[in-house]
Amino acid sequence: MLTAIERVAFIFLVIFSMSLSYTTFSRMFKIISRGTQPLNWKSVLKNWPKGLAVFISQKTLFKTRPIIGAIHAGVAWGFTLYLLVNIIDIMYGMIPGFKFLPNNFFGNIYRFFVDSFSVIVLLGVLFFLARRFIVKDKRLTTNEPVMLSDAAKKGIKRDSLIVGLFIILHVGFRFIGASFEVALHGSDWSQPVATMVASFWSGLPYESLVIGEHISWWVALGLILLFTPYFPYSKHAHLFMAPLNYMAETKRRSMTTLEIMDLEDESIEQFGASKLEHLPQKELLDGYACIMCNRCQDICPAYQTGKELSPASLEINKRYHYNDNMKEFSSGAESLDTLSKWMLSEEAAWSCTTCGFCLEACPVGNEPMVDILRMRQDLVLMESKFPREAMEVFDKIENYGNPWGMSPQDREKWTEGMDIPVMREKGSAEYLYWAGCSGAYDDRGKDISRSVAKIMKKADIDFAILGNEESCTGDSARRIGNEYLFQMQADQNIQNFEKYDVKKIVTQCPHCLTTLKNDYAEIGTDLEVMHHSEFISDLIKQGKIEPEASVDEDITFHDACYVGRHHGEYDAPRDVLQSVLSEKATIKEMPRNKEESFCCGAGGGNMWYEIKQGKRINVERFEEAIETGVKKVATSCNFCMIMMEDGRKVTGQDENMEVYDIAELVAERI
C-alpha cells in the first residue's frame, strides 16, 4: 500500500522511536530496581498465566464501580485487539498487495471485531474524557487536606488528556483509514460501521481516496511510534505494568504480615522505609501500575471521614516523583527528601486503620497499606516520631504485658467463679483458649471471654488458658511500627507455647488471630489458630451445642476487617448469629457489608490514639447500623465491640440500641 519512499521513511521512524523507547523504558526498570527485596524475575515470568488472565479478562475492574468498569473493560479489550491490528496494518502498508485473509470467514470475523471495537473504544474514551473534564466526577479528584504533590496536581489532567486524545486519534484515524479502504474496494459486510462512513467519500476521486487512506495510515501508526517513548511517563503504562504487577505479587500470610526484621544484624542501617529506595521493588512497581482511578480512595475509612490519608494519592505521588526524577534516580542518585515530605504525610500514615480495603479494591494489585506500614516502622524505629498515646501503649505493653497497663496478675480475674482450667495446673490441652488483653481487662471484653469459655465447657472441649502467663501478642506494637516490641512479646509467648506443647488456639480477637497465625509463622512458629466464630459455628454444625432460637427482633451484623478481608471469613459469624434467631427475626445487613464492610476504626493501632481530624470512623459506622432500624448490633471482635459501644453513646443511642458479641448471644441460649 505504501510507496517505496514511505516504506523507507517508516523504517527510519521505527528506529528513531525504538531508540528513544529503549532509553525511557530502561530508566523505568532501573527505577524499580533501586528498591530493596529484588524481584525474582524468573518467578515473575513463570507466573505469566496469572498476568495474562488479568490482562484478557479485566475481571479486577468489576470489584467496584461495575458500570464504569464495564466501559473501561470495553476500551481495554479494544486496545488489546489493536495490538494485533497494528501489526497487521504495518504488514498491509509495508508488503505490496498484502490483504489479511481476504474473502475468508476468519478474516471477516477479524474485520467485524475490529470495526465493532473501534466504535466501542472511541465511545468509551469520549465518555471518560467527558467524565473528567466536563462532568468533573468528584471521585477522580482528591479532597483537602490530602497531600498531593504539585507535579501530580498539574500532571493528572494533562496526562489523562494526552492519553485520551492519543487513543481517539490513533483508533479514529485507523477507523477512517478502513472506511477509505472500503470506499476504494467496495462495500464490506464485515465492516458495517466503516462501510457506513465510507458513504461520505463516495463522490471523491480515486486519487483523493488513496491520499486519505495513506494519511490515515500514517497518523494511526505514526502516533503509536511517537507515543511509545512517552509510555513510561504516562498513566497508560498501567496497560502492561498492571499484569506485570500481578505476576510479581508478593505472597503474604495476611495483608498486614511483613517479613521479620533481623534487629540483631549490626550491618543493617535502615529499618522500615524513609526514602523511596527503601521500599521493595514490588512496591516501586505499584507506582507504575496505578491507573489513578481512586477506587481505593472511594472506600478508605480514613479518607471517607475527612482524614489526610488517600491511598490513591500515595501511589500517584510516586508516579510523578518518578517522572520528575527519572534520569537522576534511575542513575543511582540518592533521594533527597523523605517519603513524608512528598508521598504521604505523617498524619496520614497514622490515620490508616489497616482495614485492607485498598488492597481488595485495587484493580491493578497495588498495596498502598504496606507502604504505610513500612513508613511507620521508620518513624518509630529510626525517627522516634509517633503519636504520644502510642508511646504510652508501648510502655504499658513492655512493663505490664498489655496495652491497658493493668497488672499481669489480674489477667485471669475474668475467670472467677467459672472453674476455667489453667495450663500451669493442667499441663496440656487440645486447645489453648486465648482471651487476649481486651478479653482479660476490658469490661465488655470480659463478657465475651466468659461467653466463649461457657460455650467450650458446654461442648465438653478439652481446653485451658494461660491465665497470668498470657501476654500481649504484640499486634498493636507491630501495626504501629514497633518491631522490636513485637518480637519481644512474640518470643515470650512462643516460649509458653513450647512449654505446654500448644498446637491449636481459639481466640475471639481477630487481631490476635492474625498475629498468632500469620506473624508468628513468619518467625517460625506454625499454629492452628481459629476465630471463635468459626469454632462456635463448627460446634453448632456438629451438634455439640444447640442454641435456642429465641431472638425475635431483627439484628444487624458488623464485619470485623481482620475476620473478613484479612481472614476471608464472612459466613461463620452469620451462621452463628442465625442459630439464635427465631423465624420472626432476620439479619438486616448494613449497606456496606461482607467484602465491602466499613471499618470500625480501631485497627492499625488506632484503638490507642485518636486522629482528631475529620469525623470519627466508628461514629460513621454506627450511623449505618442506626439506618437499618434495628435495636441490636452484633460483632465478632473485641475492638469492634469497644468502638461500636462508643459509637452507640456518641450518637445518643445508648438507651435505644444494644451491642452484643455473637458468643454472648449463643452463651445466653445454651
Q: Considering the domain boundaries, does residue 374 fall inside one? A: no
Last residue of a domain, one of 192, 222, 247: 247
For residue 359, give the H/E element and its range.
helix 357-361
Phi, psi of 422 (to 5 degrees): -120, 140
Quick one: cell of 622? 454506627
Nearest of 425, 433, 434, 513 to residue 471 by alpha carbon: 434
- Region 612-640: mean pLDDT is 97
Q: Which residues pair with 556 in a beta bridge?
A: 633
Q: Considering the domain boundaries, does residue 266 fall inside one? A: no
Let me know whether 69 and 194 are in one domain. yes
Helix pair angle (281-289, 368-381), 10° resolution: 140
Last residue of a domain, one of 190, 220, 247: 247
Q: Considering the domain boundaries, does residue 210 fall inside one? A: yes
User: Where in the sequence is the domain holding 57, given as residue range(s)?
Assistant: 40-247
Total number of domains in the chain = 3
Let me know whether 445 and 550 are in one domain. no
Let me know whether 551 and 536 are in one domain. no
Let me know whether 486 and 558 are in one domain. no
Let me know whether 509 and 624 are in one domain. no
528-531/555-557 β-pairing: unpaired
pLDDT at 261 over 80: yes
Alpha helices in 505-548 (DSSP H): 510-514, 520-523, 532-541
Q: What is the model's pLDDT at position 185? A: 85
pLDDT digits (tens, 9 = 90+) for 412-428: 999 999 999 999 999 99
Q: Considering the domain boundaries, does residue 641 fall inside one? A: yes
Let me know whether 500 and 573 are in one domain. no
Let me know whether 59 and 114 are in one domain. yes
Extract the runs of DSSP E, i.e. beta strands, from 472-547. Answer: 504-507, 528-531
pLDDT at 84 over 80: yes
Residues above pLDDT 70, as percent of the chain: 100
Binning pLDDT at 50, 70 and 90, where does residue 502 land?
Answer: very high
Let me know whether 478 and 502 are in one domain. yes
Q: What is the model's pLDDT at position 393? A: 97
Give the span between the Cα atoms of 505 and 497, in whole angstroms: 10
Residue with cell 517505496: 4
Let me know whether 510 and 620 are in one domain. no
Long-range contacts of 151-160 (CB under 8 A, 24+ apart): 151/320, 151/321, 151/323, 151/324, 152/313, 152/316, 152/317, 152/319, 152/320, 155/320, 155/323, 156/292, 156/316, 157/132, 157/133, 159/234, 159/235, 159/292, 160/128, 160/129, 160/132, 160/235, 160/292
pLDDT at 250 over 90: no
Q: What is the mean pLDDT of the chain?
A: 95
Longest Cα–Cα distance in the chain: 101
pLDDT at 271 over 90: yes
Q: Considering the domain boundaries, does residue 441 fall inside one? A: yes
Give the span between the Cα atoms of 82 and 118, in whole angstroms: 9
- Here the CATH number for the domain that contains residue 642 is 3.40.50
pLDDT at 143 over 80: yes
Residue with cell 501508526: 221
pLDDT at 311 over 80: yes
Q: Considering the domain boundaries, does residue 646 fall inside one? A: yes
Let me know whether 467 and 558 are in one domain. no
Residue with cell 480515486: 206
Q: Considering the domain boundaries, does residue 29 fall inside one? A: no
Give the span between the Cα atoms of 414 and 567, in whole angstroms: 28
Phi, psi of 289 (to 5 degrees): -80, -20
Calculate Rg over the CA atoms of the chain: 30
Last residue of a domain, one of 490, 511, 540: 540
Q: Considering the domain boundaries, does residue 532 fall inside one? A: yes
Give the span between the Cα atoms of 115 and 56, in whole angstroms: 19
pLDDT digits (tens, 9 = 90+) for 314-349: 999 999 999 999 999 999 999 989 999 999 999 999
- Region 608-625: mean pLDDT is 96
pLDDT digits (tens, 9 = 90+) for 554-609: 999 999 999 999 999 999 999 999 999 999 999 999 999 999 999 999 999 999 99
Let me know whether 525 and 567 are in one domain. no
Let me know whether 481 and 592 are in one domain. no
